[in-house]
């Protein structure tokens, strides 16, 4: 376990997400994996397929967080500009990488490896490759930035390879308490006092609507099991008191 908190950000690259045509599934999937691993996801951004926007976001996020994960824009078409943009963000060159070309040749016949497909082997200088067991075109890691595919099945396969290499914190322990048909406003005052008394944990209250009415979930999260348990017990007692 490191001395300081290991943090992360996600950068989703793609006009199709901003237009609504494609509904992102990668943010939730990466968030789940990072939480399981004990890494704090602190920020997410979605930007269009424009180099200046990608460069600015990569540089802002890689400077601020331990890790940055990007998704999208590493295919063979003209709108796939992530690799070139990341190279520009790091101020390094980029060219066809022989390791990446060899990976592509595992799936593509040499006579079919045209200029467009070779774009998928363009890797910034100094980067390590991330294998793609599904369609072979690799992602890459440069510095603290992991560049992954946007297709969810491929992104998840790349994440399987990346996660074991990450430094992580002690995992966050979480306890969820349900308050069905009890409006948040009934317990919000008491919950605020519990949150204040148990400042080493984070306590969130999350309303959702079900056909049966509002369902509130109170989630206690923290890295110290005893502290989480103590706060959860206090919330439980408070909720039980409401229905007396």
- Nearest residue (CB) to a copy of itself, 28 versus 126: 28
Beta bridge partners of 140: 129, 147
What would the x/- binding string for a copy of itself be over residues 48 to 87, using CB under 8 A? xx---x---------------------xxxxx--------
Q: Can you tell me which of 151, 159, 235, 239 binds a copy of itself, judged by CB under 8 A?
A: 151
Q: Is 227 in the site for a copy of itself (CB under 8 A)?
A: no
Q: Are 14 and 70 in contact (CB under 8 A)?
A: no
Shortest Å distance, C-beta 140 to a copy of itself: 19
Return the residues of window 173-202 that contact a copy of itself according to CB under 8 A.
174, 184-189, 191-192, 195-196, 202
The rounded Cα 223 to chain-centroid distance in angstroms is 20
What would the x/- binding string for a copy of itself be over residues 2 to 31, using CB under 8 A? ----------x--xxxxxxxxxx--xx--x
Q: Is 91 in the site for a copy of itself (CB under 8 A)?
A: no
Could you tell me the CA-to-CA distances from 226 to 56, 164, 218 in Å, in that order? 42, 27, 18
String of DSSP letters for 94-141 = EEE-HHHHHHHHTTS-GGG--HHHHGGGEEETTPEEE--TTT---EEE
Select from 206, 184, 25 the least CA-distant residue to 12. 25
- Nearest residue (CB) to a copy of itself, 45 versus 141: 45
Beta bridge partners of 70: 11, 147
Q: Can you tell me which of 2, 171, 207, 241 binds a copy of itself, judged by CB under 8 A?
A: 207
Question: What's the alpha-carbon Rg for the chain, to the nearest Å?
Answer: 22
Q: Is 47 in the site for a copy of itself (CB under 8 A)?
A: yes
Return the residues of window 123-142 that contact a copy of itself according to CB under 8 A.
134-135
Shortest Å distance, C-beta 126 to a copy of itself: 26
Instruction: State the Cα–Cα distance between residues 73 and 202, nearest whole angstrom.
Output: 36
Instruction: State the Cα–Cα distance between residues 32 and 155, nearest whole angstrom.
Output: 13
What would the x/- binding string for a copy of itself be over residues 107 to 126, using CB under 8 A? -x---x-xxxx-xx------
- Please state the φ and ψ torsions of residue 93, each to the nearest 5 degrees: -80, 175
Residue with tokens 């490896």: 113
Could you list the residues that contact a copy of itself (CB under 8 A)?
12, 15-24, 27-28, 31-35, 40-49, 53, 75-79, 108, 112, 114-117, 119-120, 134-135, 151, 153-154, 172, 174, 184-189, 191-192, 195-196, 202-209, 214, 219, 221
């Amino acid at each position: 376990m490191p001395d300081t908190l290991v943090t992360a950000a996600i950068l989703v690259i793609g006009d199709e997400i901003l237009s609504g045509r494609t509904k992102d599934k990668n943010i939730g999937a990466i968030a789940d994996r990072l939480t399981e691993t004990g890494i704090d996801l602190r920020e997410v951004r979605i930007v269009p397929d424009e180099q200046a926007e990608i460069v600015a976001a990569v540089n802002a996020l890689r400077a601020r967080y331990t890790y940055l994960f990007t998704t999208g824009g590493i295919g063979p078409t003209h709108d796939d500009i992530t690799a070139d943009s990341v190279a520009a963000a790091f101020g390094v060159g980029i060219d066809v990488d022989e390791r990446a070309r060899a990976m592509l040749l595992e799936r593509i016949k040499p006579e079919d490896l045209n200029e467009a497909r070779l774009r998928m082997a363009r890797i910034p200088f100094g980067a390590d490759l991330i294998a793609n067991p599904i369609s072979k075109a690799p992602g890459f890691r440069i510095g603290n930035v992991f560049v992954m595919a946007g297709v969810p099945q491929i992104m998840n396969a790349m994440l399987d390879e990346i996660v074991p290499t990450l430094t992580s914190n002690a995992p966050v322990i979480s306890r969820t308490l349900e308050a069905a048909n009890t409006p948040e406003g009934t317990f919000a005052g008491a919950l605020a006092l519990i949150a204040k008394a148990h400042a080493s944990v984070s306590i969130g209250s999350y309303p959702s609507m079900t056909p049966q009415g509002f369902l509130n979930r109170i989630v206690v999260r923290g890295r110290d099991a005893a502290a989480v348990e103590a706060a959860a017990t206090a919330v439980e007692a408070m909720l039980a008191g409401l229905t007396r």
